[in-house]
Structure 1
Amino acid sequence: MSLSHTDINAAKARVPLAFQAPLTVRMRRAALWIGFIGLFCYCLWAFDFSPMRIWEGMGRLGNVLSFMFPPHVWDNWADFSEVLNGLGETLAIAFMGTLLGAIFAFPVSLLGAKNINRFTFLRQSARRGYDVIRAFETLILALIFIRAFGLGPLPGILAIAVSEIGTFAKLFSEAIENTSNKPVEGVKASGGSRLQQIRFGIAPQVNPVILSILLYNFESNVRSGTILGIVGAGGIGFLLSDRISAYKWEEAWSIIFLIIAMVYAIDYLSGLIRQRIIGKWDGAK
C-alpha cells in the first residue's frame, strides 16, 4: 500500500511531532552545534593552527624519521645489555606499581560499593577520595616522589601505585555493584557471615572483571613507565631520552621498536591469561 502526498501531508497536520522535533528541541540542538563549532574554531585560533605550520612541521618530522633509518643494531653485549636492563626495569616498575595499587585499592573499593557499604556518607566520602587521587597525573606524582626519594625506580613504582589506587578502587567498586544479589542471598540463607557472603557470593562474580582490569592497566602502566623514565624515574625511558638528546635517532628508533615489541608481547600474554582463567568467548553459542 502506497501513500499519496495528500495522505502524508494530512498525517503531518494531525501529528506534527511525529515528523519533526518541537521548536525548543531544534533550537537547543542548533545552540549545541553552534557552541561546538565555535569552541572548535576558537581552539584552532588559540593554538595558532594554520595549514602552512602543519606543512612545515610535517617536513621537519620527515627529516627526523629519515635519521632513524636504518635502525641501529648493537654490535656488543655491553651496550645491548644496558638496553635490556632498562626494559626489564620498566617492566618491573609497571608490575610492582600495578600490584601495590591493586592490593591497597581492593579493600578501599568495598567502601565505595553500594551493596557492601550501606552508609551513604561514608560511601560518598570514599568515592570522592577516588576522584581526588585520580586528579593527580602519574607524571606529576613521579616528579613529587623524585623530589622526596631521589632518582631511580622507586619514585616510578610509587607514582604508578598511588595513581592506580584511585583508578582501581573506582573500577572495582563499580564492578562489585553490578553483581547479582542472588548468590549472596543463597550464602546468607545457608547461615554464612557477611564476610562469607562477600567471599563466596560476590567474589566469584567480580574476579574475572578485576583480572581483566588488572591486565589492561598493567599493559598501560608499561607505557606509562616509559614516560616516567624520561623524568628520572628509572627504566627504558631514561635511555630513550638520552639517545634523543644526543641526536642518536637510529638508536632511539631501535629502543622504540623494542618497547613496541615488549608491549605487544605483554598484550599477547595477557590475552592468553584471560582466555585461560575467564574462558574463550564463543559468539556462536
Structure 2
Amino acid sequence: MTPSQDQIDAAMGAHPLVFRDPPLVRARKIALWVGFFGLFAWCLYDFNFSPERIWVGLGRLGRVMSFMFPPYLWQTWAEWLEILTALGETIAMAFMGTLLGAIVAFPLSFLGAKNINRIFWLRQGTRRGYDVIRAFETLILALIFIRAFGLGPLPGILAIAVSEIGTFSKLFSEALENTSRKPVEGVVASGGSRAQSIRYAIMPQVLPVHLSVLLYNFESNVRSGTILGIVGAGGIGFLLSDRISTYHWDQAWTMIFMIIAMVYLIDYLSGLIRTKLIGTADLAK
C-alpha cells in the first residue's frame, strides 16, 4: 500500500537523517561546489575575461569574416592543381600515419591485454608505454620531426603514426580484454592450441572493433593533418597558413570550405565501409 503524505511527513520528522545527507556529506558537497565555482571565477579573472573584450573581439571577427566573402575561385588549372595536390597530401598523410600506427600497435596490443599476456610486469610496463606515447600531442611530435626531417609531409606522417601507436594499442588491447570466453573455451575443448584460440575465437570478435576504430581515427587524422600543415608539415594546412598570413582571406575561406567538404566526404565513405564490412546490426550496438 502506498503511504499517504501525512505518513511520509511523520516519518521524515521522526527520522530526518534517513531522508537527507548527514552533515559531513552535505559539508563536503558544499565545499566541492564552492571550490568548483571558485576555480571557474579564478580562470575567468586570470584569462582576462570581460564582456568588453568579448564584444571587441566579435567586432574584429566580423571584419575578418567580411573579408572572406565572396569566396575566391582560381582562374587557371595550375592554381587549382596546387590546391588539389595539397588536399591529396593531407589525405595521404592521414592515411599513411594511421596505417603505420595500426601496424605497430596491433602486436603491441596483445602484450597489454590481460587475457593474452599473463606476465604482470610485462603487461603493466607495456600499458605504461601506451600512456607515455599518448602523453605527447601530435602537434608537438610534428614540431620535433620537422626539426629532424625538415618541412613536408614526412614529419606529419611520423607524428600521426607515433601518436596513433599509443591510441591504437590501448583501444586494441581493451577490445581484446572485452571478448567473450565461450568461443575460446570451445576451441580449447576441441583440442586447439592457445594460438589457435586467439586466431579462431578472439580475432573474429575484435576485428570489427579494430576496423571501426581505424576508420574513425583516419577521419580524425585528416583534420589533424590540416593543423600539422600549418606548422610546416605540408598539405592544405600549409597553403591555408600562407594565405592567412598574407591576408588573402577570400582564398582562405575557399580552402576552408574545401576542407569541410573533404572531411564530410571521408566521413560519408567511411560510414559506407563500416556498414559494408561490419554490418548495420553491429553499428547499432
Query: Normalising TM by the smaller chain, what interval?
Result: over 0.9
What residue number does 1:212 align with? 212
2 CA distance for matches of 1:238 and 1:102?
A: 26
What residue number does 2:29 align with? 29
Identity %: 73
1 CA distance for matches of 2:5 and 2:193?
A: 70
1:153 matches 2:135: no
**1:175-198: per-residue Cα shift (whole Å, max 9, x none)?**
111110111111111121221111
What residue number does 2:175 align with? 175
The number of residues matched between the two structures is: 284
Q: Is the 8 A contact 2:228 2:237 kept in 1?
A: yes
2 CA distance for matches of 1:174 and 1:157?
A: 25
Q: 1:280 to 1:127 in 2, by over 3 A?
A: same
1:280 matches 2:283: no
Q: 1:187 to 1:17 in 2, by over 3 A?
A: farther
CA drift of 1:13 comes to: 3.8
- 1:95-244 paired onto structure 2 within 5 Å: 95-244=95-244
Q: Secondary structure at the match of 1:27?
A: helix
Report the RMSD for the aligned CA atoms in angstroms: 1.7
Uncovered stretches (5+) of structure 1, i.e. residues with no partner: none
What residue number does 2:267 align with? 267
Letter in 2 for 1:159: A
Q: 1:284 to 1:246 in 2, by over 3 A?
A: closer
Uncovered stretches (5+) of structure 2, i.e. residues with no partner: none
2 CA distance for matches of 1:113 and 1:16?
A: 49
1 CA distance for matches of 2:284 and 2:203?
A: 28
1 CA distance for matches of 2:93 and 2:11?
A: 67
1:56 matches 2:56: yes
**1:47-101: per-residue Cα shift (whole Å, max 9, x none)?**
0000000000000000000100111111110101100000000000000000000
Letter in 2 for 1:174: E
1:3 matches 2:22: no
Q: Secondary structure at the match of 2:280?
A: coil
2 CA distance for matches of 1:4 and 1:147?
A: 74
Q: 1:283 to 1:180 in 2, by over 3 A?
A: closer
Q: Secondary structure at the match of 1:231?
A: helix
CA drift of 1:28 comes to: 1.3
Q: 1:194 to 1:4 in 2, by over 3 A?
A: closer
Q: Secondary structure at the match of 1:37?
A: helix
